[in-house]
Amino acid sequence: MTASTSASASASPTAASPTEWWRSAVIYQVYIRSFRDADGDGIGDVAGIRERLPYLCALGVDALWITPWYPSPMADAGYDVADYRAIEPSFGTLASARSLITEAHALGMRVILDIVPNHTSDQHAWFQAALAAAPGSPERARYMFRAGRGADGAQPPNDWRSVFGGPAWTRVTEADGTPGEWYLHLFAPEQPDLDWEHPEVRAEFESILRFWFDLGVDGFRIDVAHGMIKDPALPDLGLDEEEILAPPASEDHPHWDLDGVHEIYRSWRAIADSYEPPRIFVAEAWTRNQERLARYLRADELHTAFNFDYLRAPWQAQQLRAVIEESIAAAASVDAPPTWVLSNHDVVRHVSRFARPQDGIPRHALTEIAALGAPDLELGTRRARAAALLMLALPGRAYVYQGEELGLPEVEDLPDAALQDPTWERSGHTERGRDGCRVPLPWRARPDDSTGFSIIPATAAPWLPQPDDWASWSEERQHDDPDSMLSLYRTALHIRRAHPVTDTSRLRWLEAPADVIAFERTPELACVVNFGADPVPLPDGAEVLLASAAGFTQDDPPTAIGPDEAIWFTPAGA
């Protein structure tokens, strides 16, 4: 590898304003049920997050994104919201949520919430009213109720499938006891889809945004941001099953990524911009390509979106480099920052994804990943350490999913009886679902004692069982170990902060062999990642700042980058 430079990834429009914190922030995803349990009931809560704020601040993240904390029957782990203006009692109270926001701000961290606008819980007052009302009533008009097909209406209105398996329609029983209309639910039957053509639906969500913005939250992650508008003709799709949260299977899909969603975000953006400081949005939008994703990021729409192409990319230099270049160019075309993410609560943790042979096919679901064979966790961990340095060196915004800083693997052998993801039941026990990445965090080094997850002696076991061998992954064990994943993330985040990127639309690539990725984040911070089987020498005069390989010290820096390793360095003469 030489240190000469190649072209930048794309032409540059505007440089990021320093006040636009969101362009280069590192955001930590708090999956509240599994983060930290303060009251010993085996379920994470608001007080648990508050207790860990100093930990997150010391880790060096800029903001938290908290997954839905609203009252919910938990048919889909909180993504079935019964009341958008309150806190789930098992998580805390509105007063404790307010305190959390104030305390996070005092530590210099922002707070982003999760809004779920595509569907409500079936226990939401609106849906309960719709069930009690008659076909054709104003109450039903807020949801997608339709007559069935066939002489007696016994067939669903079309062939759409629920993302969790089975039909996307459920038939209700009318007040007189007769089988009645069907309602649409792209997810579980307990998650009826709202009709976003209805003005009351739009007005209600704008009011919900203002409610939380007034409380001081800094922004929202938008759940299923690509799903709210449906083709009014509700045409058949001709598919057997929808993949669990994946890019749309066809170009003219009747319910994913329709152009009509953008009008909603223009009005949301105006609301966010009316606050001081302006609030921000991040889209969870599964689109066919980066160009379609960039449409959500136009100047009068959302600020950023998750980059699922990057998350799903296999551990291969050429493919990753292509995704990086494409992502930067697409984001730059609308003057948005690119974003990077390796894991979240819907996908197999990346230690376990990278622990398998990489055959070049993007994947994120457990069934398809487990089919690749047993995980080699040592290999997966080595790659995950390198992947952290790669992601955190890239320009733009990065997401850290709770537990990734501890190097947690997917728990692939949860007992059947413990599984709670609706996918397990809806798929007829063929898809184990997403519980394996949602196992409560091991804070203390005694997983057999539930204080591992809870602050006080617990009265109940964690809501999903922690594996017996998780002691070595605990925060307690890793805290003072300079070779731990936690130390690597902490150091990397602090170095990253000292090397801010103002123009996220540019990346200076360094010349490198085909199985190596090398680039400069800033003139003083370069990153090189070796995906090949042989060590690669460092450029002459490089001053190593950080290495993914355990055992790195400044006193005895490496001179080469080993297979599946990464190094941050200052190039000679910088």
The binding site for ligand NOJ (CB under 6 A) comprises 76, 79, 116, 187, 223-224, 284, 345-346
Distance CA 499, CA 156 (A): 56
* Least separation in angstroms between CB 304 and ligand NOJ: 16
Q: At what angle do helices 261-273 and 199-214 cross, to 10 degrees?
A: 30
DSSP three-state, residue 58 = helix
Cβ nearer to ligand NOJ, comparing 402 with 570: 402
Tokens of 134: 């008659």
Least spacing, CB of residue 110 vs ligand NOJ, in Å: 20
Instruction: Count CB neighbours of 106 within 10 A.
Output: 10
Nearest residue (CB) to ligand NOJ, 76 versus 257: 76
- DSSP state, residue 570: E
Q: How far is the CB of 223 from ligand NOJ (least distance, A)?
A: 5
Cα(159)–Cα(148) distance, integer angstroms: 11
Q: Which is nearer to ligand NOJ, 68 or 409 (CB)?
A: 68
Q: Is the peptide bond before 277 cis (omega within 30 degrees of 0)?
A: yes
Q: Which residue is nearest to ligand NOJ (CB)?
A: 79
CB 490 to ligand NOJ: min, Å: 27
Token pair for 66: 């908290």
- SS3 label, residue 305: strand
Cα(473)–Cα(442) distance, rounded to whole angstroms?
A: 7
DSSP structure class, residue 407: T
Q: Which residue has the tokens 């390796």?
A: 342
Give phi and psi for 537, each to the nearest 5: -70, 150
Q: How far apart are the first and last CA of the chain?
A: 17
**Judged by CB, which is closer to ligand NOJ: 190, or 565?**
190
Shortest distance, position 129 Cβ to ligand NOJ, whole Å: 22
Residue 117 or 558 having the CB closest to ligand NOJ: 117
- Cis peptide leading into residue 465 (ω within 30°): no
Q: Which CB, 9 or 228, lies closer to ligand NOJ?
A: 228
Residue 109 or 116: the one with the smaller Cβ distance to ligand NOJ is 116
Distance, in Å, from the CA atom of 62 to the CA atom of 58, rounded to the nearest integer, reads: 11
To ligand NOJ, the closest distance from the beta carbon of 512 in angstroms equals: 35
**Residue 322 beta carbon to ligand NOJ: minimum distance, rounded to whole angstroms:** 26
Cβ atoms within 10 A of the Cβ of 273, count?
12
Whichever of 74 and 272 has its CB closer to ligand NOJ, that residue is: 74
